[in-house]
Protein backbone atom coordinates (compact mmCIF):
# COMPACT_ATOMS: atom_id res chain seq x y z
CA UNK A 1 0.00 0.00 0.00
CA UNK A 2 1.74 3.24 -1.13
CA UNK A 3 1.06 6.55 0.60
CA UNK A 4 -0.81 8.79 -1.85
CA UNK A 5 0.31 12.47 -2.12
CA UNK A 6 -1.82 14.58 0.23
CA UNK A 7 -2.17 17.47 -2.26
CA UNK A 8 -4.90 17.82 -4.89
CA UNK A 9 -3.44 18.04 -8.42
CA UNK A 10 -6.01 19.46 -10.85
CA UNK A 11 -6.28 17.37 -13.99
CA UNK A 12 -3.71 14.96 -12.46
CA UNK A 13 -1.11 17.17 -14.19
CA UNK A 14 2.31 15.53 -13.94
CA UNK A 15 0.99 12.57 -11.94
CA UNK A 16 2.20 9.12 -13.04
CA UNK A 17 -0.91 6.91 -12.96
CA UNK A 18 0.34 3.91 -14.95
CA UNK A 19 3.43 2.26 -16.40
CA UNK A 20 3.65 1.29 -20.04
CA UNK A 21 6.13 -0.30 -22.46
CA UNK A 22 4.45 1.20 -25.55
CA UNK A 23 5.05 4.97 -25.88
CA UNK A 24 7.83 7.10 -24.49
CA UNK A 25 7.31 10.87 -24.63
CA UNK A 26 9.88 13.54 -23.78
CA UNK A 27 7.78 16.73 -23.74
CA UNK A 28 10.75 19.05 -23.39
CA UNK A 29 12.82 17.59 -26.25
CA UNK A 30 9.75 16.79 -28.36
CA UNK A 31 10.47 13.06 -28.56
CA UNK A 32 7.97 10.23 -29.16
CA UNK A 33 9.07 6.60 -29.40
CA UNK A 34 6.94 3.48 -29.78
CA UNK A 35 8.77 0.72 -27.88
CA UNK A 36 11.93 2.78 -28.22
CA UNK A 37 11.67 3.43 -31.98
CA UNK A 38 11.42 7.12 -32.95
CA UNK A 39 8.06 8.07 -34.49
CA UNK A 40 9.89 9.64 -37.44
CA UNK A 41 11.53 6.32 -38.29
CA UNK A 42 8.21 4.49 -38.07
CA UNK A 43 6.47 7.13 -40.21
CA UNK A 44 9.21 6.77 -42.85
CA UNK A 45 9.76 3.02 -42.86
CA UNK A 46 6.86 1.19 -41.17
CA UNK A 47 3.24 0.36 -41.95
CA UNK A 48 0.23 0.61 -39.64
CA UNK A 49 -0.01 -3.18 -39.39
CA UNK A 50 3.67 -3.46 -38.42
CA UNK A 51 3.27 -0.62 -35.91
CA UNK A 52 0.28 -2.35 -34.27
CA UNK A 53 2.30 -5.57 -33.99
CA UNK A 54 5.14 -3.55 -32.41
CA UNK A 55 2.84 -1.92 -29.85
CA UNK A 56 1.09 -5.16 -28.91
CA UNK A 57 4.16 -7.42 -28.88
CA UNK A 58 6.78 -4.85 -27.77
CA UNK A 59 9.03 -5.71 -30.74
CA UNK A 60 9.07 -5.56 -34.53
CA UNK A 61 7.73 -8.69 -36.30
CA UNK A 62 9.71 -11.04 -38.51
CA UNK A 63 8.50 -11.20 -42.10
CA UNK A 64 6.51 -14.35 -41.34
CA UNK A 65 5.00 -12.90 -38.18
CA UNK A 66 3.88 -9.76 -40.04
CA UNK A 67 2.29 -11.86 -42.78
CA UNK A 68 0.37 -13.92 -40.25
CA UNK A 69 -0.65 -10.86 -38.18
CA UNK A 70 -1.84 -9.10 -41.34
CA UNK A 71 -3.88 -12.16 -42.25
CA UNK A 72 -5.50 -12.24 -38.79
CA UNK A 73 -6.39 -8.55 -39.05
CA UNK A 74 -7.85 -8.92 -42.54
CA UNK A 75 -9.93 -11.88 -41.33
CA UNK A 76 -11.65 -9.32 -39.07
CA UNK A 77 -12.42 -6.66 -41.70
CA UNK A 78 -15.98 -7.87 -42.23
CA UNK A 79 -18.74 -6.71 -39.88
CA UNK A 80 -20.65 -9.31 -37.86
CA UNK A 81 -24.05 -10.34 -39.26
CA UNK A 82 -26.66 -7.64 -38.55
CA UNK A 83 -24.23 -4.78 -37.95
CA UNK A 84 -24.81 -3.23 -41.37
CA UNK A 85 -28.55 -3.04 -40.62
CA UNK A 86 -27.69 -1.42 -37.30
CA UNK A 87 -25.51 1.16 -39.07
CA UNK A 88 -28.34 1.79 -41.54
CA UNK A 89 -30.71 2.44 -38.61
CA UNK A 90 -28.59 5.39 -37.47
CA UNK A 91 -30.12 8.78 -38.43
CA UNK A 92 -28.08 10.19 -41.34
CA UNK A 93 -27.81 13.44 -39.37
CA UNK A 94 -25.93 11.69 -36.52
CA UNK A 95 -22.39 12.86 -35.78
CA UNK A 96 -19.94 10.13 -36.88
CA UNK A 97 -18.21 10.02 -33.48
CA UNK A 98 -21.53 9.41 -31.70
CA UNK A 99 -22.31 6.71 -34.29
CA UNK A 100 -18.88 5.07 -33.87
CA UNK A 101 -19.10 5.06 -30.07
CA UNK A 102 -22.55 3.43 -30.30
CA UNK A 103 -21.57 0.84 -32.90
CA UNK A 104 -18.40 -0.25 -31.07
CA UNK A 105 -20.55 -0.76 -28.00
CA UNK A 106 -22.96 -2.83 -30.11
CA UNK A 107 -20.10 -5.07 -31.31
CA UNK A 108 -20.01 -6.56 -27.81
CA UNK A 109 -23.41 -8.16 -28.44
CA UNK A 110 -21.93 -10.12 -31.37
CA UNK A 111 -19.16 -11.59 -29.23
CA UNK A 112 -19.95 -15.00 -27.67
CA UNK A 113 -17.78 -14.19 -24.65
CA UNK A 114 -17.71 -10.37 -24.37
CA UNK A 115 -16.56 -10.33 -20.76
CA UNK A 116 -13.67 -12.78 -21.19
CA UNK A 117 -10.60 -10.86 -19.97
CA UNK A 118 -7.70 -13.24 -20.39
CA UNK A 119 -4.85 -11.59 -22.29
CA UNK A 120 -5.41 -14.00 -25.20
CA UNK A 121 -9.15 -13.18 -25.33
CA UNK A 122 -8.36 -9.47 -25.10
CA UNK A 123 -6.03 -9.76 -28.11
CA UNK A 124 -8.78 -11.48 -30.12
CA UNK A 125 -11.23 -8.69 -29.21
CA UNK A 126 -8.65 -6.06 -30.07
CA UNK A 127 -8.22 -7.59 -33.54
CA UNK A 128 -12.01 -7.72 -34.01
CA UNK A 129 -12.55 -4.07 -33.07
CA UNK A 130 -9.49 -2.74 -34.92
CA UNK A 131 -10.32 -4.85 -37.98
CA UNK A 132 -13.97 -3.94 -38.46
CA UNK A 133 -14.30 -0.33 -37.27
CA UNK A 134 -13.13 0.97 -40.68
CA UNK A 135 -16.12 -0.83 -42.19
CA UNK A 136 -18.44 0.84 -39.65
CA UNK A 137 -17.20 4.35 -40.50
CA UNK A 138 -17.21 3.71 -44.26
CA UNK A 139 -20.67 2.10 -44.23
CA UNK A 140 -22.15 4.98 -42.21
CA UNK A 141 -20.67 7.67 -44.48
CA UNK A 142 -21.97 5.90 -47.58
CA UNK A 143 -25.36 5.36 -45.89
CA UNK A 144 -25.74 9.07 -45.18
CA UNK A 145 -24.83 9.76 -48.84
CA UNK A 146 -27.56 7.33 -49.93
CA UNK A 147 -25.03 4.77 -51.15
CA UNK A 148 -24.79 1.02 -50.56
CA UNK A 149 -21.94 -0.18 -48.33
CA UNK A 150 -18.84 -1.55 -50.07
CA UNK A 151 -17.68 -4.91 -48.70
CA UNK A 152 -14.08 -5.01 -47.46
CA UNK A 153 -11.37 -6.33 -49.76
CA UNK A 154 -9.04 -8.65 -47.83
CA UNK A 155 -6.40 -8.33 -50.54
CA UNK A 156 -5.87 -4.74 -49.37
CA UNK A 157 -4.00 -3.41 -46.35
CA UNK A 158 -5.76 -1.60 -43.51
CA UNK A 159 -5.47 1.90 -45.01
CA UNK A 160 -6.18 0.98 -48.64
CA UNK A 161 -9.15 -1.12 -47.57
CA UNK A 162 -10.68 1.74 -45.58
CA UNK A 163 -10.34 4.22 -48.46
CA UNK A 164 -11.70 1.59 -50.86
CA UNK A 165 -14.78 0.91 -48.68
CA UNK A 166 -15.34 4.66 -48.25
CA UNK A 167 -14.99 5.75 -51.89
CA UNK A 168 -15.90 2.57 -53.78
CA UNK A 169 -12.63 2.63 -55.70
CA UNK A 170 -9.08 1.54 -55.00
CA UNK A 171 -7.00 4.47 -53.68
CA UNK A 172 -3.72 5.58 -55.26
CA UNK A 173 -0.44 4.45 -53.72
CA UNK A 174 0.23 8.04 -52.60
CA UNK A 175 -3.11 8.42 -50.80
CA UNK A 176 -2.75 4.98 -49.21
CA UNK A 177 0.73 5.80 -47.92
CA UNK A 178 -0.42 9.20 -46.63
CA UNK A 179 -3.31 7.65 -44.75
CA UNK A 180 -1.04 4.94 -43.37
CA UNK A 181 1.36 7.56 -42.00
CA UNK A 182 -1.62 9.21 -40.27
CA UNK A 183 -2.56 5.85 -38.75
CA UNK A 184 1.03 5.23 -37.59
CA UNK A 185 1.44 8.66 -36.00
CA UNK A 186 -1.90 8.52 -34.13
CA UNK A 187 -1.65 4.93 -32.83
CA UNK A 188 -0.48 5.51 -29.25
CA UNK A 189 0.59 8.37 -27.01
CA UNK A 190 1.15 7.54 -23.37
CA UNK A 191 -1.56 8.21 -20.84
CA UNK A 192 -3.63 10.73 -22.81
CA UNK A 193 -7.17 11.29 -21.63
CA UNK A 194 -8.85 8.60 -23.77
CA UNK A 195 -6.19 6.00 -23.00
CA UNK A 196 -6.48 6.77 -19.29
CA UNK A 197 -10.25 6.38 -19.68
CA UNK A 198 -9.80 2.93 -21.23
CA UNK A 199 -7.46 1.85 -18.42
CA UNK A 200 -9.80 3.16 -15.72
CA UNK A 201 -12.73 1.21 -17.18
CA UNK A 202 -10.88 -2.10 -17.63
CA UNK A 203 -9.37 -1.78 -14.14
CA UNK A 204 -12.81 -2.81 -12.76
CA UNK A 205 -12.42 -6.00 -14.90
CA UNK A 206 -15.23 -4.70 -17.11
CA UNK A 207 -14.58 -5.59 -20.75
CA UNK A 208 -12.64 -4.48 -23.85
CA UNK A 209 -15.78 -3.15 -25.59
CA UNK A 210 -16.78 -0.96 -22.63
CA UNK A 211 -13.21 0.34 -22.34
CA UNK A 212 -12.91 1.23 -26.05
CA UNK A 213 -16.44 2.72 -26.10
CA UNK A 214 -15.57 4.97 -23.15
CA UNK A 215 -12.30 5.97 -24.82
CA UNK A 216 -14.15 7.02 -27.99
CA UNK A 217 -16.38 9.20 -25.84
CA UNK A 218 -13.31 10.89 -24.38
CA UNK A 219 -11.56 11.33 -27.74
CA UNK A 220 -14.53 13.21 -29.21
CA UNK A 221 -13.84 16.17 -26.92
CA UNK A 222 -12.42 19.27 -28.68
CA UNK A 223 -9.61 19.51 -26.14
CA UNK A 224 -8.47 16.04 -27.24
CA UNK A 225 -9.08 14.24 -30.54
CA UNK A 226 -11.83 16.61 -31.65
CA UNK A 227 -9.24 19.35 -32.19
CA UNK A 228 -8.46 18.30 -35.77
CA UNK A 229 -12.01 19.22 -36.81
CA UNK A 230 -11.57 22.56 -35.05
CA UNK A 231 -8.36 23.19 -36.98
CA UNK A 232 -10.13 22.62 -40.31
CA UNK A 233 -13.00 24.92 -39.33
CA UNK A 234 -10.43 27.59 -38.44
CA UNK A 235 -8.58 27.20 -41.77
CA UNK A 236 -11.89 27.48 -43.62
CA UNK A 237 -12.87 30.59 -41.62
CA UNK A 238 -9.67 32.49 -42.53
CA UNK A 239 -10.31 33.90 -46.02
CA UNK A 240 -6.67 34.22 -47.05
CA UNK A 241 -3.12 34.01 -45.77
CA UNK A 242 -3.12 37.83 -45.45
CA UNK A 243 -5.99 37.57 -42.94
CA UNK A 244 -4.16 35.10 -40.70
CA UNK A 245 -2.36 37.66 -38.51
CA UNK A 246 -5.54 39.52 -37.57
CA UNK A 247 -7.51 36.31 -37.04
CA UNK A 248 -4.95 34.77 -34.69
CA UNK A 249 -4.26 37.99 -32.78
CA UNK A 250 -7.99 38.59 -32.26
CA UNK A 251 -8.47 35.04 -30.92
CA UNK A 252 -5.51 35.34 -28.59
CA UNK A 253 -6.76 38.70 -27.38
CA UNK A 254 -10.08 37.06 -26.52
CA UNK A 255 -8.12 34.35 -24.64
CA UNK A 256 -9.51 31.76 -27.06
CA UNK A 257 -7.63 28.54 -27.80
CA UNK A 258 -6.11 28.05 -31.26
CA UNK A 259 -7.04 24.46 -32.07
CA UNK A 260 -4.13 22.18 -32.90
CA UNK A 261 -1.75 24.04 -30.59
CA UNK A 262 -0.57 23.37 -27.08
CA UNK A 263 -0.22 20.13 -25.21
CA UNK A 264 -0.26 18.94 -21.63
CA UNK A 265 3.08 17.18 -22.11
CA UNK A 266 4.84 18.70 -25.14
CA UNK A 267 6.44 22.09 -24.53
CA UNK A 268 8.22 21.76 -27.88
CA UNK A 269 6.82 20.95 -31.32
CA UNK A 270 5.01 17.59 -31.27
CA UNK A 271 7.22 15.28 -33.38
CA UNK A 272 4.06 13.93 -35.01
CA UNK A 273 3.20 17.46 -36.15
CA UNK A 274 6.60 17.63 -37.86
CA UNK A 275 5.95 14.37 -39.75
CA UNK A 276 2.40 15.39 -40.68
CA UNK A 277 3.57 18.86 -41.76
CA UNK A 278 5.81 17.30 -44.41
CA UNK A 279 2.95 15.07 -45.52
CA UNK A 280 0.47 17.96 -45.55
CA UNK A 281 2.76 20.05 -47.77
CA UNK A 282 3.25 17.23 -50.27
CA UNK A 283 -0.47 16.40 -50.40
CA UNK A 284 -1.52 20.06 -50.54
CA UNK A 285 0.79 20.55 -53.52
CA UNK A 286 -0.49 17.42 -55.25
CA UNK A 287 -4.17 18.24 -54.68
CA UNK A 288 -4.24 22.01 -55.28
CA UNK A 289 -4.75 22.88 -51.60
CA UNK A 290 -1.61 24.93 -51.01
CA UNK A 291 -3.71 27.74 -49.52
CA UNK A 292 -4.45 25.48 -46.51
CA UNK A 293 -0.77 24.74 -46.06
CA UNK A 294 0.37 28.38 -46.41
CA UNK A 295 -2.30 29.51 -43.96
CA UNK A 296 -1.17 26.78 -41.53
CA UNK A 297 2.47 27.85 -41.78
CA UNK A 298 1.47 31.48 -41.23
CA UNK A 299 -0.52 30.51 -38.12
CA UNK A 300 2.43 28.49 -36.83
CA UNK A 301 4.81 31.45 -37.30
CA UNK A 302 2.54 33.87 -35.43
CA UNK A 303 1.91 31.39 -32.61
CA UNK A 304 5.67 30.81 -32.27
CA UNK A 305 6.16 34.58 -31.97
CA UNK A 306 3.26 35.13 -29.56
CA UNK A 307 3.17 32.03 -27.33
CA UNK A 308 6.20 29.92 -28.23
CA UNK A 309 7.84 31.13 -25.03
CA UNK A 310 4.96 29.49 -23.11
CA UNK A 311 5.75 26.15 -24.74
CA UNK A 312 2.73 26.29 -27.03
CA UNK A 313 3.53 24.62 -30.35
CA UNK A 314 1.62 22.64 -32.99
CA UNK A 315 0.35 19.27 -31.80
CA UNK A 316 -0.64 16.19 -33.79
CA UNK A 317 -4.00 17.70 -34.77
CA UNK A 318 -2.67 20.83 -36.47
CA UNK A 319 -1.38 19.32 -39.72
CA UNK A 320 -3.51 16.17 -39.65
CA UNK A 321 -6.45 18.43 -40.57
CA UNK A 322 -4.91 19.50 -43.91
CA UNK A 323 -3.71 15.96 -44.52
CA UNK A 324 -7.16 14.41 -44.04
CA UNK A 325 -8.77 17.15 -46.14
CA UNK A 326 -6.35 16.52 -49.01
CA UNK A 327 -7.00 12.78 -48.81
CA UNK A 328 -10.61 13.74 -49.47
CA UNK A 329 -12.15 13.04 -46.07
CA UNK A 330 -15.13 15.03 -44.86
CA UNK A 331 -14.46 17.26 -41.87
CA UNK A 332 -16.62 15.29 -39.45
CA UNK A 333 -14.67 12.13 -40.30
CA UNK A 334 -11.37 13.59 -39.05
CA UNK A 335 -11.83 12.57 -35.42
CA UNK A 336 -13.16 9.11 -36.35
CA UNK A 337 -9.84 8.66 -38.23
CA UNK A 338 -8.02 9.43 -35.01
CA UNK A 339 -10.17 6.79 -33.30
CA UNK A 340 -9.55 4.11 -35.97
CA UNK A 341 -5.84 4.42 -35.30
CA UNK A 342 -5.97 4.92 -31.54
CA UNK A 343 -7.92 1.69 -31.05
CA UNK A 344 -4.48 0.09 -31.44
CA UNK A 345 -3.10 2.06 -28.48
CA UNK A 346 -6.23 1.81 -26.36
CA UNK A 347 -6.43 -1.98 -26.71
CA UNK A 348 -2.70 -2.30 -26.07
CA UNK A 349 -3.13 -0.38 -22.82
CA UNK A 350 -6.17 -2.48 -21.88
CA UNK A 351 -4.00 -5.59 -22.30
CA UNK A 352 -1.19 -3.99 -20.24
CA UNK A 353 -3.69 -3.07 -17.51
CA UNK A 354 -5.10 -6.60 -17.45
CA UNK A 355 -1.56 -7.94 -17.20
CA UNK A 356 -0.91 -6.10 -13.92
CA UNK A 357 -4.21 -4.73 -12.73
CA UNK A 358 -5.10 -2.60 -9.72
CA UNK A 359 -8.49 -0.90 -9.56
CA UNK A 360 -8.20 2.86 -10.20
CA UNK A 361 -9.81 4.60 -7.27
CA UNK A 362 -8.23 8.01 -6.46
CA UNK A 363 -9.59 10.22 -3.73
CA UNK A 364 -11.60 13.43 -3.83
CA UNK A 365 -10.76 16.06 -1.24
CA UNK A 366 -14.02 17.00 0.48
CA UNK A 367 -14.28 20.80 0.63
CA UNK A 368 -17.96 21.06 1.64
CA UNK A 369 -19.51 21.79 5.08
CA UNK A 370 -19.77 19.41 8.09
CA UNK A 371 -22.29 18.88 10.91
CA UNK A 372 -25.17 20.42 8.98
CA UNK A 373 -28.59 19.91 10.64
CA UNK A 374 -31.40 18.38 8.56
CA UNK A 375 -33.96 21.18 7.97
CA UNK A 376 -37.54 19.93 7.70
CA UNK A 377 -39.30 20.95 4.45
CA UNK A 378 -41.68 23.48 6.15
CA UNK A 379 -38.68 25.36 7.53
CA UNK A 380 -36.68 25.67 4.26
Pick 23 or 70: Cβ nearer ligand SDX: 23
Contact 280, 296 (CB under 8 A): yes
Q: Which of 143, 186, 189, 263 is labelled catalytic? A: 263
* Known catalytic residue at 98: no
Q: How many CA atoms lie within 13 A of 64 on its CB side?
A: 0
Considering the complex, what minimum distance in angstroms separates the CB of residue 152 from ligand SDX? 27
Rounded to an integer, what distance in angstroms lies between the CA atom of residue 166 and that of residue 146?
13
Considering the complex, what minimum distance in angstroms separates the CB of residue 43 from ligand SDX? 14
Q: Which of 111, 180, 207, 317 is labelled catalytic? A: 317
- Tell which residue, 365, 359, 377, has the closest CA to residue 18: 359
Q: How many CA atoms lie within 13 A of 379 on its CB side?
A: 4
Contact 272, 44 (CB under 8 A): no
47: left (phi over 0), alpha (psi -120 to 50) or beta: beta
Considering the complex, what minimum distance in angstroms separates the CB of residue 317 from ligand SDX? 5
Rounded to an integer, what distance in angstroms lies between the CA atom of residue 265 and that of residue 158?
30
Pick 83 or 231: Cβ nearer ligand SDX: 231
Return residues touching ligand SDX (CB under 6 A): 189-190, 192, 223-225, 227, 257-265, 307, 310, 312, 315-317
Pick 87 or 302: Cβ nearer ligand SDX: 302
Number of residues in the chain: 380
Considering the complex, what minimum distance in angstroms separates the CB of residue 320 from ligand SDX? 10
Give DSSP secondary structure letters for 66-91. Answer: HHHHHHHHHTT-SPPTTHHHHHHTS-
* Known catalytic residue at 370: no
Q: Give me the residue whose beta carbon is nearest to ligand SDX.
A: 262
Contact 53, 69 (CB under 8 A): yes
CA distances 263 to 25, 108, 257, 260, 355, Å, are 12, 33, 12, 9, 29
Pick 69 or 346: Cβ nearer ligand SDX: 346
Considering the complex, what minimum distance in angstroms separates the CB of residue 203 from ligand SDX? 19
Pick 117 or 320: Cβ nearer ligand SDX: 320
Q: Which residues are catalytic?
A: 263, 317
Amino acid sequence: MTTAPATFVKGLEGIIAAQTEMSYIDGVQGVLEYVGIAIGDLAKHSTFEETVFLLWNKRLPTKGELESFTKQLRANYALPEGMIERVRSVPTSAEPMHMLRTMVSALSMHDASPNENSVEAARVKALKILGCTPAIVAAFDRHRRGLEPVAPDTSLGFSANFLYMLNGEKPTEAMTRAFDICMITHADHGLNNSTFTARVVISTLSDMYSAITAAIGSLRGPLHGGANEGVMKMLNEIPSVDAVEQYVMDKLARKERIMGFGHRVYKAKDPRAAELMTLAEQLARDTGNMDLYTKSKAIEKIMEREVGSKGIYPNVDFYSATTYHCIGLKLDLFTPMFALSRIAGWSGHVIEQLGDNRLFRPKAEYVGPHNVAYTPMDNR
